């Protein structure tokens, strides 16, 4: 029998004091934190390369995960109160499962998190996907051993909540909803640590006005019943607007900052050459020893031990060797990252948009037509940049393209529903979608990125980007005139 632990306390920049008591759940969570897979999160920064832009943004997934657990406990008290008010039976086991899931939800994140996931997609590396790694670590690692105190199936139940990614019951709302503990922690933590002064949320007021409500669920046009989840009380209207617009601001200012994304592109340039070389028996060209964790991962990418041996510090520590790699692409990209000699960014989408738009059309149809014109230009320019890269090889692609979009509210993937709608109680106790209740939220549009990154001294690539944009703008103008 394990000796009982004393109460534990953590000081946190967002939440101040986070306490772990001596009841079995909190003691178990404290023991989970001490396991090697969880301690590894100390070496994975929450915002990856953002520190190159915001020097304070060095916080880790370790601190975030503890903050998520702390926030989840607060959210669970709202559920407990609702259950009590309605004279229902609080389901301790389901609550415990959701709280444990909140703590370990990020345990599978790889080095530089989302940047590494992109490498995984490009090279089909299963263990570069944090969901896959989290699932295995929770079910079968030191974490699972600690969780066994609640029975042999508990670790699987926790993994299932995360894998499902959608609420299976009311308790899951603390890990899967628009007000889940993950988002409520990262929005505050990322703002605080980066130092940006926009994107603040009225956390205490939001939490004070969170209620449980019953909302419809479905797939496309088909209903599948109703679920209980978090909704906001009517007094939280303005706090809800701020909550949505805060994310809208965090995308351009922090998460998709052009310099951060440029550094990620260099990281990708290194890894997209390193992995195939090491995998195909040419590790010597990477500049790394045969037993380096990056080389071992490249050779055995399906081995979870190889994946979890990687973290941000492993990559930063490898940079001096990578910068001297015989492979010119690896050497150049690594040296640039080490010395923060980042590539120059051309905001192609902004330039294309500016070429078409005068004043924004007042009517929705005119605005939609303009967006379609920009989209056509983007697709044509992207194709031509790709062709230019293929015809003009460099140590790594001379024009690195970054194209993505993020939607702060309406998510253009699969169906809209309880997971991606914010519901607020209106007059007569009717529950509304926030977009029907707020002109501000309704007007928010996705943040699109289409940028080209070029070395400052590569005049040829710069000229090519400018020419391709000018050609396509010219063609679009002629097409419009003919139409």
Binding interface with other proteins (CB under 8 A): 121, 129, 131, 160, 163-166, 168, 215-225, 227, 371-373, 375-376, 379, 383, 405, 412-419, 421, 433
> How many residues in the chain?
483
CB of 169 to other proteins, least distance (A): 9
CB of 134 to other proteins, least distance (A): 13
Output 3 or 225, the one with its CB closest to other proteins: 225
Rounded to whole angstroms, the Cα distance separating 323 from 138 reads: 36
Rounded to whole angstroms, the Cα distance separating 299 from 276 reads: 9
Non-local (6+) Cβ contacts of 301 within 8 A are 123, 125, 126, 127, 128, 275, 279, 307
Rounded to whole angstroms, the Cα distance separating 49 from 46 reads: 9
Rounded to whole angstroms, the Cα distance separating 342 from 50 reads: 13
Cα–Cα–Cα angle for 263, 265, 266, rounded to 5 degrees:
65
CB of 373 to other proteins, least distance (A): 8
CB of 387 to other proteins, least distance (A): 9
Output 80 or 433, the one with its CB closest to other proteins: 433
CB of 175 to other proteins, least distance (A): 12
Element (H, E) at 226: strand 222-232
CB of 431 to other proteins, least distance (A): 8
Output 75 or 231, the one with its CB closest to other proteins: 231
Task: Find out whether 361 and 371 touch, Cβ atoms under 8 Å.
Answer: no
Output 317 or 361, the one with its CB closest to other proteins: 361
Strands 423-425 and 447-454: unpaired
Cα–Cα–Cα angle for 39, 77, 75, rounded to 5 degrees:
55
Output 216 or 395, the one with its CB closest to other proteins: 216
Rounded to whole angstroms, the Cα distance separating 250 from 407 reads: 11
Output 135 or 312, the one with its CB closest to other proteins: 135
Closest CA to 213 of 82, 98, 87, 77: 82
Output 322 or 434, the one with its CB closest to other proteins: 434
CB of 347 to other proteins, least distance (A): 19
Output 237 or 376, the one with its CB closest to other proteins: 376
Rounded to whole angstroms, the Cα distance separating 170 from 79 reads: 8
CB of 483 to other proteins, least distance (A): 10
Output 18 or 181, the one with its CB closest to other proteins: 181
Q: How far is CA 279 from the centre of its chain?
A: 28
CB of 302 to other proteins, least distance (A): 12
Rounded to whole angstroms, the Cα distance separating 82 from 178 reads: 18
């Amino acid at each position: 029998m394990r000796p009982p632990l004393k109460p534990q306390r953590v000081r946190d920049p967002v939440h101040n004091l986070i306490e772990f008591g001596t009841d079995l759940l909190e003691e178990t969570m404290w023991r989970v934190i001490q396991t090697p897979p969880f301690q590894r999160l100390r070496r994975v920064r929450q915002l990856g390369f953002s520190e190159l832009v915001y020097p304070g943004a060095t916080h880790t997934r370790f601190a975030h995960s503890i903050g998520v657990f702390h926030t989840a406990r607060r959210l669970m008290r709202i559920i407990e109160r609702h259950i009590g008010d309605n004279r229902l039976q609080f389901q301790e086991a389901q609550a415990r499962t959701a709280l444990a899931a909140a703590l370990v939800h990020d345990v599978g994140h790889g080095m530089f998190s989302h940047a590494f996931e992109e490498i995984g997609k490009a090279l089909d590396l299963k263990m570069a996907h944090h969901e896959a790694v989290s699932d295995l670590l929770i079910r079968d690692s030191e974490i699972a051993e600690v969780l066994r105190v609640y029975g042999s199936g508990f670790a699987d139940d926790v993994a299932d909540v995360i894998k499902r990614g959608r609420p299976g019951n009311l308790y899951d709302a603390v890990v899967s909803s628009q007000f889940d503990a993950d988002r409520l922690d990262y929005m505050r933590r990322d703002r605080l640590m980066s130092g940006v002064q926009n994107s603040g949320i009225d956390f205490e007021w939001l939490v004070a006005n969170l209620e449980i409500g019953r909302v419809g669920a479905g797939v496309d046009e088909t209903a599948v019943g109703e679920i209980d989840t978090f909704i906001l009380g009517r007094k939280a209207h303005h706090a809800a607007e701020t909550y949505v617009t805060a994310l809208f601001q965090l995308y351009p200012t922090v998460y998709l900052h052009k310099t951060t994304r440029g550094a990620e592109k260099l990281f990708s340039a290194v890894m997209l050459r390193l992995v195939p070389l090491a995998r195909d028996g040419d590790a010597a060209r990477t500049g790394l020893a045969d037993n380096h964790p990056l080389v071992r991962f490249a050779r055995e990418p399906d081995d979870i031990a190889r994946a979890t041996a990687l973290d941000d510090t492993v990559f930063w520590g490898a940079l001096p060797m990578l910068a001297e790699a015989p492979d010119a692409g690896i050497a150049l990209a690594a040296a640039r990252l080490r010395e923060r000699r980042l590539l120059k960014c051309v905001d192609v989408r902004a330039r294309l948009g500016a070429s078409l738009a005068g004043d924004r059309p007042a009517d929705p149809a005119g605005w939609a037509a303009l967006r379609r014109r920009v989209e056509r230009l983007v697709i044509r320019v992207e194709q031509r940049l790709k062709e230019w890269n293929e015809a003009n090889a460099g140590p790594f692609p001379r024009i690195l393209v970054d194209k993505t979009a993020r939607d702060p509210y309406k998510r253009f993937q699969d169906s809209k529903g309880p997971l991606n709608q914010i519901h607020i109680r209106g007059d007569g106790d009717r529950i509304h979608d926030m977009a029907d209740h707020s002109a501000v939220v309704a007007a928010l549009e996705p943040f699109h990125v289409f940028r080209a990154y070029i070395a400052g001294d590569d005049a040829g690539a710069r000229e090519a980007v400018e020419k391709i944009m000018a050609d396509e703008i010219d063609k679009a103008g002629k097409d419009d005139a003919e139409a």
